[in-house]
Amino acid sequence: MASYPFKQIESRWQQQWKELELYRVQEHSSLPKFYVLDMFPYPSGAGLHVGHPLGYIASDIVSRYKRLKGFNVLHPMGYDAFGLPAEQYAIQTGQHPSITTNTNIKRFREQLDRMGFCYDWSREVRTCDPAYYRWTQWIFSLLFTHWYDPGKQSARPIADLLTHFQQYGSQNLQAHTSFQGSFTADEWNSYNATEREHILNAFRLAYIDETTVNWCQEMGTVLANEEVINDPKKGPVSERGGFPVERRKMKQWFLRITAYADRLLQGLDGLEWSESIKEIQRNWIGKSTGAELDFHLVEKPGAITVFTTRPDTIFGATFLVLAPEYEQLAELCSDAQRDAVMAYASKAKNRSEIDRMADTEKTGVFTGAMVRHPFTGKQLPVWVSDYVLSGYGTGAIMAVPAHDDRDFEYARVFDLPIVPVIHASEGTITEPLQEAYSAKEGVCFNSDFLNGLQIKEAISKAISEVVSRGIGRSKTNYKLREAGFGRQRYWGEPIPIVFDEKGVPSLVEELPVELPAVERYTPSGSGASPLAAVEHWVNTEHGTRETDTMPGWAGSSWYFLRYTDPHNAEQFASAEALNYWGQVDLYVGGSEHATGHLLYSRFWTKFLYDLGYISWDEPFRRLVNQGMIMGEDGQKMSKRWGNVVNPDDVCEDYGADTLRLYEMFLGPLTDSKPWNTNGIEGVSRFLNKFWRLYMVEDSCVVSNDEPTREELKLLHKTIQKVTSDIESMSFNTSVSAFMVAVNELQAAKCRKRAILEPLLILLAPFAPHITEELWSNLGHHNSVHCAAWPSFNPEYLTENEFNYPVSINGKTRTFISFALDAEESFIRETVCSNPDVMKWVEDKPLKKLIIVKGRIINMVI
């Protein structure tokens, strides 16, 4: 028997849908909205393999289902089109990256179209399109002209800040800033532009900072920490290409994401995201609460401030440790130790963070400086060691070797005193300690006013004591770093900034700032992007252009907003469109974006919310991370392993509907699983069986006969199962529910319209082509995708009898049927007199009889 004619059917309906603009959506609708989004792809030259569409199929099913349920569904697609591969290709071939990108997009589109997705392509966005990136630049401009007020918990215009400075100087200002000094209003008013900008820069949400960066000479650019990996042989190398990476000081654009750290953390609680992704973000933000304590120097004026989360262990502090980058290191150390200290520090500074972390052997040098313990007045030595990170807290710690593993190890290596001050609630500590007691549970001793307190109480007591004595303050720290925003590359959004002759930056008013044509795409090697060579572009009447471009994540941090109004030339999106579509209701994509894209999008959303452009401050209400599809050999699908399966080939051999169903049938959406070519046959067989329920030869054989109660029961069981499965995104089990239904209908030779027509609608989101064809064969002139989802009637499922499993001591021994409303005494009697049961019971006395209505009967003897 030949297969149903999927080839004709699929291409014909795809063509029809396109002509009818079936999937085009409008905002003016009285229907409730639903916004389903896929993470848009980077259009690579390799095209799609069968792993990519997994999430697209899932979101397509939900979109179609929601539409059938009566929602106005926004389901758009676009391209994250700026990126390194197109630029690398340009460097090698001289071809403009936009050409490569367009070719790749065309190929992606063909592949996507072939799978029958219901995207509204009229809303496509491309991040590399000037009409799009002018708004990316516009958001950057807003970040540049705003600062963060932690009191109001909101971003505010720089203008407010200027007013404040003019009137009060730096007094009484609540701001998230890296500015450390203070000035009066008079001083401010006397400052020149350069001096003012130096201060404002410390407040702007988009600002310039000189920091040590990961410089990759080969790629001619700076890399983020997450783009650098540690090669055991070569040391730090780029994730892409494996080129060596070194440390370099460079001026860079940054976004002050840490201003939003607490809101980014709090906001997670209300989101319907997987616990693991939320946990990754929580760890990434890394909030820790504790105290800053001041340790005054013995022989010099001044103090060293340390951050600790364990102020309860203050009486166990036996020395301080400074990071090699500690600013006052040179002034602090004694003359005798200076050479040794500086030699150690410069050696440590040249090692990358990654290198330092890989090596956990404790090293360090005594600085010669002593400080006074703020409570006991005892003198403590100050050391310098690379196990203390300069970027976290104050770059200095108080070492409590008895209760911290790292300090313990250090004290061991340099033979420093170890003083225990906490013991487990049960029992005491035996000295000498074999390892640090770092548990967060126990009782203080040897600790003056903290003695006898539990750790938790001791922490708050210690902080209040520190505050009242003026030797410190309570303090919260975050691991989250500011987000580097400059790349020395060509193929990215230009940063809309010009610098005047004094180096003061200002915004370019007229957007977009378009990428100019360049002769060569190769980085200059001096740290500047290829744009720096385009003199006529760089030099403008207002000043010199910034030649860095934005990182890959800029355009993807707000694209979900643009889809609501993608062709708007006046605004990034109209308030009407934004208000109508609102938050993304369901976002489907890979979990690899946990700390990048997903965090940055949340940041930009909160920022735009603060400015009143949108009325919600979380972009993605529900997030589902699809798993990876591995090759048949269990390895990641890639050219390298030669195990790539192309969706085009599957569509060619089995059809798009089979591909869609099979990907869903493979297992739970969120799991990773291997592709198995054999398995696809089963799904293909199912669709053929399904087809033959309706069709014999070329004619539709569906009848108008009355369905039986059994048939209705099967239908409604399927409605119930498929509906709840789509809601919970358990598509694998709905596919098996369809298989069960078809098997049973085939066995019952049921060809009744009253059953087969609703079944067609149920399957339509999964297999849009075959269902459309059959729907049309049933005589309909509209699309099955515009029908109404069948409603579930529980009456058809009610049973009046149940075949009870009867177990004796928990083991099923026989089955007996009872009416569901049967009296317990009747059941008891019948069960006890049943011959099968009696055989097992013999003459043992019945201890207990458990009857769970509609489930089980259990005898305990």
226 touching RNA, by CB under 7 A: yes
288 touching RNA, by CB under 7 A: yes
Q: Closest Cα partner for 367 from 386, 341, 396?
A: 341
Q: Please report how close the Cβ of residue 308 comes to RNA at its closest, in angstroms.
A: 3
191 or 802: CB nearest RNA: 802
Strands annotated E in 557-599 = 586-589
848 touching RNA, by CB under 7 A: yes
Out of 290, 472, 486, 496, name the contact with RNA by CB under 7 A.
290
739 touching RNA, by CB under 7 A: yes
| Nearest-10 crossing angle of helices 647-654, 97-114 | 30
In this chain, which stretch among 114-122, 132-140, 302-310, 493-501 interacts with RNA, using CB under 7 A? 302-310
29 or 289: CB nearest RNA: 289
> How many Cα atoms occupy the beta-carbon half-sphere of 370 within 13 Å?
7
224 touching RNA, by CB under 7 A: no
228 strand-pairing partners: 238
Q: Specify the length of the chain in residues.
A: 861
CA distance 412 to 472: 29
Cβ-contact 486, 547 below 8 angstroms: no
Region 439-478 residues binding RNA, contact defined as CB under 7 A: 477
360 touching RNA, by CB under 7 A: yes
Out of 732, 777, 830, 834, name the contact with RNA by CB under 7 A.
732
803 touching RNA, by CB under 7 A: yes
Region 808-827 residues binding RNA, contact defined as CB under 7 A: 809-813, 815
φ and ψ at residue 459, rounded to 5 degrees: -60, -50
Q: Which residues contact 830 (CB under 8 A, 6 or more apart)?
A: 816, 818
In this chain, which stretch among 143-151, 271-279, 538-546, 707-715 interacts with RNA, using CB under 7 A? 271-279
Say whether the peptide bond before residue 32 is cis (omega within 30 degrees of 0).
no
Say whether the peptide bond before residue 674 is cis (omega within 30 degrees of 0).
no
288 or 544: CB nearest RNA: 288
Q: Please report how close the Cβ of residue 409 comes to RNA at its closest, in angstroms.
A: 7
160 or 239: CB nearest RNA: 239
102 touching RNA, by CB under 7 A: no
Q: Closest Cα partner for 156 from 615, 603, 611?
A: 611
In this chain, which stretch among 165-173, 512-520, 826-834, 844-852 interacts with RNA, using CB under 7 A? 844-852
Strands annotated E in 139-196 = 146-149, 154-157
Number of residues that bind RNA (CB under 7 A): 85
Cβ-contact 331, 394 below 8 angstroms: no
In this chain, which stretch among 190-198, 548-556, 588-596, 599-607 interacts with RNA, using CB under 7 A? 588-596
Q: Please report how close the Cβ of residue 221 comes to RNA at its closest, in angstroms.
A: 21
Region 642-681 residues binding RNA, contact defined as CB under 7 A: 665-668, 671-674, 676, 678-679, 681
Q: Please report how close the Cβ of residue 245 comes to RNA at its closest, in angstroms.
A: 16
CA distance 448 to 471: 17
Region 530-569 residues binding RNA, contact defined as CB under 7 A: none
Region 397-436 residues binding RNA, contact defined as CB under 7 A: 397, 400, 404, 406
Strands annotated E in 575-705 = 586-589, 623-625, 629-630, 673-674, 695-696, 699-700
Cβ-contact 656, 769 below 8 angstroms: yes
CA distance 799 to 702: 28
711 touching RNA, by CB under 7 A: no
Out of 1, 509, 567, 798, name the contact with RNA by CB under 7 A.
1
Out of 161, 369, 388, 554, name the contact with RNA by CB under 7 A.
388
Determine how many CB atoms are found less than 10 A away from the CB of residue 464.
12
708 touching RNA, by CB under 7 A: no
Q: How far does CA 126 lie from the centroid of its chain?
A: 21
517 touching RNA, by CB under 7 A: no
Radius of gyration of the chain (CA): 34
**x/- contact string, 594-613, with RNA (CB under 7 A)?**
xx------------------
729 touching RNA, by CB under 7 A: no
Q: Please report how close the Cβ of residue 531 comes to RNA at its closest, in angstroms.
A: 31
What stretches of 646-767 show up as alpha helix (H) in DSSP?
Answer: 647-654, 656-665, 680-694, 709-727, 731-747, 753-763
Q: Please report how close the Cβ of residue 80 comes to RNA at its closest, in angstroms.
A: 20
CA distance 540 to 529: 18
In this chain, which stretch among 28-36, 231-239, 581-589, 852-860 interacts with RNA, using CB under 7 A? 852-860
Out of 275, 415, 426, 509, name the contact with RNA by CB under 7 A.
275
In this chain, which stretch among 57-65, 87-95, 296-304, 382-390 interacts with RNA, using CB under 7 A? 382-390
Identity at 464, one-letter amino acid code:
S
Q: Please report how close the Cβ of residue 392 comes to RNA at its closest, in angstroms.
A: 4
Out of 353, 465, 565, 772, name the contact with RNA by CB under 7 A.
353
77 touching RNA, by CB under 7 A: no
828 touching RNA, by CB under 7 A: no
Helix-strand-coil percent breakdown of the chain, rounded to 5?
40, 20, 40
Determine how many CB atoms are found less than 10 A away from the CB of residue 705.
13
